[in-house]
Structure 1
Amino acid sequence: MGAKTMAKDVKYTTWVENEVGIQGVAGSLDGELAVTVSSPLKPVAGTNPEQLIGLSLATCLNATLQAEEKRHGLLHESVVRVKVEFGPDEPGYQFWLTAYVKIPQVDRATGAAMLATAEQRCPVAKLLAGSANVQVQLVDEFPEAEA
Protein backbone atom coordinates (compact mmCIF):
# COMPACT_ATOMS: atom_id res chain seq x y z
CA MET A 1 0.00 0.00 0.00
CA GLY A 2 2.43 2.73 1.10
CA ALA A 3 5.39 0.36 1.22
CA LYS A 4 8.32 0.48 -1.14
CA THR A 5 8.11 -1.88 -4.08
CA MET A 6 11.15 -4.12 -4.03
CA ALA A 7 11.97 -7.54 -5.35
CA LYS A 8 11.37 -10.16 -2.70
CA ASP A 9 14.45 -11.69 -1.09
CA VAL A 10 12.63 -14.13 1.19
CA LYS A 11 14.77 -15.37 4.11
CA TYR A 12 12.05 -17.34 5.92
CA THR A 13 8.55 -18.54 5.21
CA THR A 14 6.02 -20.15 7.49
CA TRP A 15 2.41 -21.13 7.08
CA VAL A 16 -0.01 -20.98 9.99
CA GLU A 17 -3.64 -21.98 10.09
CA ASN A 18 -6.65 -21.62 12.30
CA GLU A 19 -9.61 -23.84 11.50
CA VAL A 20 -11.14 -23.78 15.00
CA GLY A 21 -12.04 -20.09 15.37
CA ILE A 22 -11.62 -18.78 18.93
CA GLN A 23 -11.49 -22.06 20.86
CA GLY A 24 -9.21 -24.99 20.16
CA VAL A 25 -5.71 -25.51 18.79
CA ALA A 26 -4.22 -23.54 15.92
CA GLY A 27 -0.66 -23.49 14.68
CA SER A 28 1.88 -23.93 11.94
CA LEU A 29 1.36 -26.39 9.14
CA ASP A 30 4.78 -27.93 9.80
CA GLY A 31 3.64 -28.91 13.31
CA GLU A 32 6.36 -26.90 15.08
CA LEU A 33 3.83 -24.54 16.69
CA ALA A 34 0.57 -25.56 18.32
CA VAL A 35 -1.26 -22.93 20.36
CA THR A 36 -4.45 -23.38 22.33
CA VAL A 37 -6.54 -20.33 21.48
CA SER A 38 -9.45 -18.88 23.40
CA SER A 39 -11.47 -15.73 23.86
CA PRO A 40 -10.19 -13.21 26.41
CA LEU A 41 -13.82 -12.67 27.39
CA LYS A 42 -14.39 -16.25 28.55
CA PRO A 43 -12.84 -18.18 31.47
CA VAL A 44 -11.24 -20.76 29.17
CA ALA A 45 -7.51 -21.52 29.17
CA GLY A 46 -5.62 -20.48 26.08
CA THR A 47 -3.89 -17.68 24.23
CA ASN A 48 -5.87 -14.98 22.48
CA PRO A 49 -5.18 -12.71 19.50
CA GLU A 50 -4.55 -9.77 21.83
CA GLN A 51 -1.67 -11.60 23.50
CA LEU A 52 -0.29 -12.79 20.19
CA ILE A 53 -0.20 -9.37 18.52
CA GLY A 54 1.25 -7.79 21.66
CA LEU A 55 3.95 -10.45 21.92
CA SER A 56 4.71 -10.14 18.20
CA LEU A 57 5.35 -6.42 18.54
CA ALA A 58 7.28 -6.77 21.82
CA THR A 59 9.49 -9.57 20.49
CA CYS A 60 10.23 -8.06 17.09
CA LEU A 61 10.88 -4.55 18.41
CA ASN A 62 13.12 -5.78 21.22
CA ALA A 63 15.06 -8.09 18.88
CA THR A 64 15.64 -5.09 16.61
CA LEU A 65 16.71 -2.99 19.61
CA GLN A 66 19.09 -5.78 20.60
CA ALA A 67 20.76 -5.43 17.20
CA GLU A 68 20.95 -1.65 17.71
CA GLU A 69 22.52 -2.13 21.15
CA LYS A 70 25.11 -4.46 19.61
CA ARG A 71 25.80 -1.95 16.82
CA HIS A 72 26.51 0.64 19.55
CA GLY A 73 28.79 -1.78 21.43
CA LEU A 74 26.30 -2.17 24.29
CA LEU A 75 25.05 -5.19 26.17
CA HIS A 76 21.40 -6.07 25.59
CA GLU A 77 19.36 -4.40 28.34
CA SER A 78 16.33 -3.05 26.46
CA VAL A 79 12.87 -4.24 27.47
CA VAL A 80 9.64 -3.80 25.51
CA ARG A 81 6.31 -4.11 27.31
CA VAL A 82 3.13 -3.85 25.25
CA LYS A 83 -0.31 -3.00 26.60
CA VAL A 84 -3.07 -4.35 24.37
CA GLU A 85 -6.63 -3.15 24.82
CA PHE A 86 -9.66 -4.62 23.05
CA GLY A 87 -13.04 -2.99 22.62
CA PRO A 88 -16.05 -2.51 20.40
CA ASP A 89 -15.91 -0.76 17.07
CA GLU A 90 -18.55 -0.27 14.41
CA PRO A 91 -18.73 -2.89 13.03
CA GLY A 92 -16.97 -5.45 15.21
CA TYR A 93 -14.04 -4.80 17.53
CA GLN A 94 -10.61 -3.19 17.52
CA PHE A 95 -7.28 -3.27 19.34
CA TRP A 96 -5.27 -0.43 20.83
CA LEU A 97 -1.56 -1.14 21.39
CA THR A 98 0.88 0.91 23.42
CA ALA A 99 4.48 -0.28 23.40
CA TYR A 100 6.55 1.00 26.33
CA VAL A 101 10.27 0.77 25.63
CA LYS A 102 13.01 0.98 28.25
CA ILE A 103 16.66 1.29 27.22
CA PRO A 104 18.27 1.87 30.63
CA GLN A 105 21.96 1.96 29.70
CA VAL A 106 21.80 5.09 27.52
CA ASP A 107 20.69 8.71 27.91
CA ARG A 108 17.25 9.72 26.68
CA ALA A 109 18.43 11.27 23.38
CA THR A 110 20.45 8.18 22.47
CA GLY A 111 17.56 5.92 23.47
CA ALA A 112 15.14 7.93 21.34
CA ALA A 113 17.47 7.68 18.33
CA MET A 114 17.93 3.94 18.83
CA LEU A 115 14.17 3.45 19.16
CA ALA A 116 13.47 5.49 16.01
CA THR A 117 15.91 3.31 14.08
CA ALA A 118 14.40 0.14 15.52
CA GLU A 119 10.88 1.25 14.56
CA GLN A 120 12.07 1.78 10.97
CA ARG A 121 13.73 -1.66 10.85
CA CYS A 122 11.34 -3.91 12.83
CA PRO A 123 8.97 -5.73 10.42
CA VAL A 124 6.08 -5.79 12.91
CA ALA A 125 6.47 -2.09 13.76
CA LYS A 126 6.56 -1.31 10.03
CA LEU A 127 3.42 -3.38 9.50
CA LEU A 128 1.58 -1.47 12.25
CA ALA A 129 3.06 1.96 11.41
CA GLY A 130 0.56 4.67 10.62
CA SER A 131 -2.23 3.17 12.70
CA ALA A 132 -3.78 5.63 15.14
CA ASN A 133 -4.32 2.60 17.38
CA VAL A 134 -0.60 1.93 17.87
CA GLN A 135 1.70 4.05 20.04
CA VAL A 136 5.37 3.48 20.89
CA GLN A 137 6.83 5.34 23.87
CA LEU A 138 10.32 5.52 25.31
CA VAL A 139 10.04 5.36 29.12
CA ASP A 140 12.33 5.45 32.12
CA GLU A 141 9.89 3.30 34.13
CA PHE A 142 7.01 1.09 33.04
CA PRO A 143 3.49 2.09 34.06
CA GLU A 144 1.77 -0.25 36.48
CA ALA A 145 0.15 -3.18 34.68
CA GLU A 146 -3.53 -3.45 35.49
CA ALA A 147 -5.14 -6.87 35.45
Structure 2
Amino acid sequence: MKKISLYHTEIENKDGISGHVRSLTDDAFNQLTSSPLKSVPGTNPEQLLGAALATCLNATLEAEEKRRNLPHQAIVRVAVDMGRDYQGFQFWLRVQVKLPQVDQQEAQEILAICEQRCPVAKLLAKSQNVKIELVNEFGFKEEFK
Protein backbone atom coordinates (compact mmCIF):
# COMPACT_ATOMS: atom_id res chain seq x y z
CA MET A 1 0.00 0.00 0.00
CA LYS A 2 1.36 3.39 -0.98
CA LYS A 3 1.84 5.83 1.89
CA ILE A 4 0.16 9.20 1.39
CA SER A 5 0.87 11.77 4.08
CA LEU A 6 -2.05 14.01 5.03
CA TYR A 7 0.05 15.93 7.53
CA HIS A 8 3.77 16.20 8.16
CA THR A 9 5.73 17.66 11.04
CA GLU A 10 9.30 17.43 12.21
CA ILE A 11 10.16 17.64 15.90
CA GLU A 12 13.63 18.28 17.26
CA ASN A 13 15.16 17.91 20.70
CA LYS A 14 18.85 18.73 20.91
CA ASP A 15 19.03 19.36 24.67
CA GLY A 16 17.90 16.01 26.13
CA ILE A 17 15.58 16.08 29.13
CA SER A 18 16.47 19.61 30.26
CA GLY A 19 15.87 22.10 27.47
CA HIS A 20 13.37 22.45 24.64
CA VAL A 21 11.53 20.30 22.15
CA ARG A 22 10.26 22.15 19.11
CA SER A 23 8.69 21.86 15.71
CA LEU A 24 10.96 22.49 12.75
CA THR A 25 8.01 22.86 10.38
CA ASP A 26 6.26 25.78 12.13
CA ASP A 27 6.59 27.96 15.19
CA ALA A 28 3.44 26.62 16.88
CA PHE A 29 5.18 24.00 19.03
CA ASN A 30 8.06 24.91 21.31
CA GLN A 31 8.02 23.36 24.76
CA LEU A 32 10.35 23.59 27.71
CA THR A 33 11.33 20.09 28.87
CA SER A 34 12.44 18.78 32.22
CA SER A 35 12.76 15.55 34.14
CA PRO A 36 9.56 14.32 35.78
CA LEU A 37 11.70 13.46 38.80
CA LYS A 38 12.71 17.09 39.39
CA SER A 39 10.64 20.02 40.54
CA VAL A 40 11.48 22.40 37.70
CA PRO A 41 9.28 23.89 34.95
CA GLY A 42 8.79 21.97 31.74
CA THR A 43 6.93 19.08 30.22
CA ASN A 44 8.29 15.55 29.94
CA PRO A 45 7.93 12.48 27.71
CA GLU A 46 5.32 10.99 30.07
CA GLN A 47 3.04 14.02 29.72
CA LEU A 48 3.57 14.26 25.97
CA LEU A 49 2.80 10.57 25.46
CA GLY A 50 -0.31 10.78 27.65
CA ALA A 51 -1.48 13.93 25.85
CA ALA A 52 -0.92 12.35 22.43
CA LEU A 53 -2.94 9.24 23.28
CA ALA A 54 -5.74 11.09 25.11
CA THR A 55 -6.15 13.65 22.31
CA CYS A 56 -5.94 11.21 19.41
CA LEU A 57 -8.28 8.64 20.96
CA ASN A 58 -10.83 11.29 21.94
CA ALA A 59 -10.74 12.79 18.44
CA THR A 60 -11.41 9.32 17.02
CA LEU A 61 -14.26 8.81 19.51
CA GLU A 62 -15.68 12.19 18.50
CA ALA A 63 -15.70 11.14 14.83
CA GLU A 64 -17.50 7.88 15.68
CA GLU A 65 -20.02 9.70 17.87
CA LYS A 66 -20.70 12.08 14.96
CA ARG A 67 -21.07 9.16 12.54
CA ARG A 68 -23.73 7.73 14.90
CA ASN A 69 -25.46 11.12 15.29
CA LEU A 70 -24.52 11.27 18.95
CA PRO A 71 -23.38 14.37 20.81
CA HIS A 72 -19.67 14.40 21.59
CA GLN A 73 -19.47 13.45 25.26
CA ALA A 74 -16.50 11.08 25.28
CA ILE A 75 -13.81 11.75 27.86
CA VAL A 76 -10.40 10.07 27.83
CA ARG A 77 -7.98 10.03 30.76
CA VAL A 78 -4.50 8.54 30.58
CA ALA A 79 -2.32 7.65 33.54
CA VAL A 80 1.36 7.28 32.68
CA ASP A 81 3.82 5.72 35.10
CA MET A 82 7.56 5.44 34.62
CA GLY A 83 9.61 2.87 36.45
CA ARG A 84 12.84 0.97 36.29
CA ASP A 85 13.32 -2.29 34.49
CA TYR A 86 16.40 -4.47 34.03
CA GLN A 87 17.79 -2.27 31.23
CA GLY A 88 16.77 1.22 32.34
CA PHE A 89 13.22 2.57 32.39
CA GLN A 90 9.81 1.82 30.92
CA PHE A 91 6.34 3.33 30.81
CA TRP A 92 2.97 1.88 31.81
CA LEU A 93 -0.14 3.52 30.39
CA ARG A 94 -3.63 3.04 31.76
CA VAL A 95 -6.40 4.60 29.70
CA GLN A 96 -9.93 5.16 30.94
CA VAL A 97 -12.70 6.08 28.51
CA LYS A 98 -16.12 7.35 29.52
CA LEU A 99 -19.04 7.41 27.04
CA PRO A 100 -21.95 8.53 29.23
CA GLN A 101 -24.56 9.00 26.49
CA VAL A 102 -24.82 5.32 25.44
CA ASP A 103 -25.36 1.97 27.13
CA GLN A 104 -22.46 -0.34 28.04
CA GLN A 105 -22.74 -2.54 24.95
CA GLU A 106 -22.75 0.36 22.49
CA ALA A 107 -19.93 2.03 24.41
CA GLN A 108 -17.83 -1.15 24.07
CA GLU A 109 -18.57 -1.29 20.34
CA ILE A 110 -17.59 2.35 19.87
CA LEU A 111 -14.38 1.94 21.86
CA ALA A 112 -13.39 -1.22 19.97
CA ILE A 113 -13.84 0.56 16.63
CA CYS A 114 -11.89 3.59 17.80
CA GLU A 115 -8.98 1.54 19.15
CA GLN A 116 -8.63 0.13 15.61
CA ARG A 117 -8.80 3.59 13.99
CA CYS A 118 -6.83 5.87 16.32
CA PRO A 119 -3.25 6.18 14.99
CA VAL A 120 -1.67 6.50 18.45
CA ALA A 121 -3.69 3.60 19.89
CA LYS A 122 -2.69 1.46 16.90
CA LEU A 123 0.95 2.40 17.41
CA LEU A 124 0.78 1.26 21.05
CA ALA A 125 -1.63 -1.67 20.58
CA LYS A 126 0.89 -4.49 20.81
CA SER A 127 2.44 -3.23 24.03
CA GLN A 128 1.64 -5.18 27.17
CA ASN A 129 2.24 -1.93 29.05
CA VAL A 130 -0.89 -0.25 27.65
CA LYS A 131 -4.36 -1.01 29.04
CA ILE A 132 -7.48 0.70 27.66
CA GLU A 133 -10.76 0.29 29.52
CA LEU A 134 -14.28 1.64 29.44
CA VAL A 135 -15.42 3.11 32.76
CA ASN A 136 -18.56 4.62 34.26
CA GLU A 137 -16.50 6.55 36.82
CA PHE A 138 -12.88 7.64 36.62
CA GLY A 139 -10.36 6.49 39.17
CA PHE A 140 -6.90 5.07 38.77
CA LYS A 141 -5.76 2.67 41.44
CA GLU A 142 -2.26 3.32 42.61
CA GLU A 143 -0.69 0.14 41.29
CA PHE A 144 2.90 1.31 41.38
CA LYS A 145 3.41 3.08 44.69
What TM bracket, shorter-length normalisation? over 0.9
Q: What is residue 3 of structure 1 aligned with on the other side?
A: none
User: What is the rounded CA distance, in whole Å, between the counterparts of 2:88 and 2:141 in structure 1?
Assistant: 26
User: CA offsets, 1:49-85, max 9 Å, x none?
Assistant: 0000001000000000000000110010000000000
Letter in 2 for 1:126: K
Q: Measure how far apart 1:90 and its partner are.
A: 1.6
2:121 equivalent to 1:125: yes
Letter in 1 for 2:98: K
TM-score normalised by structure 1 residue count: 0.93
Letter in 2 for 1:42: K
User: What is the rounded CA distance, in whole Å, between the counterparts of 1:131 and 1:61 in structure 2?
Assistant: 16
Name the count of aligned residue pairs: 141
User: What is the rounded CA distance, in whole Å, between the counterparts of 2:119 and 2:140 in structure 1?
Assistant: 28
* Structure 1 stretches lacking a partner, 5+ long: 1-5
Q: What is residue 23 of structure 2 aligned with on the other side?
A: 28
Q: What is residue 100 of structure 2 aligned with on the other side?
A: 104
TM-score normalised by structure 2 residue count: 0.94
Q: What is residue 136 of structure 2 aligned with on the other side?
A: 140
Q: Measure how far apart 1:24 and its partner are.
A: 1.2
Q: Percent identity?
A: 57
* Structure 2 stretches lacking a partner, 5+ long: none
Question: Alignment RMSD, CA only?
Answer: 1.1
User: What is the rounded CA distance, in whole Å, between the counterparts of 2:28 and 2:138 in structure 1?
Assistant: 33
Question: Following TM superposition, where does structure 1 have runs of at least 4 consecutive aligned residues deviating by more than 3 angstroms?
Answer: none
Letter in 2 for 1:35: Q
Letter in 1 for 2:93: L
User: CA offsets, 1:1-38, max 9 Å, x none?
Assistant: xxxxx210110000000001001111101222100000
Query: Which residue of the other structure, out of 12, 36, 41, is the alignment partner of 1:17?
Result: 12
In structure 2, the CA distance between the partners of 1:102 and 1:14, relative to structure 1 (3 Å rule), is same
1:82-97 alignment runs, 5 A limit: 82-97=78-93
Q: What is residue 3 of structure 2 aligned with on the other side?
A: 8
Query: Which residue of the other structure, out of 60, 67, 71, is the alignment partner of 1:64?
Result: 60
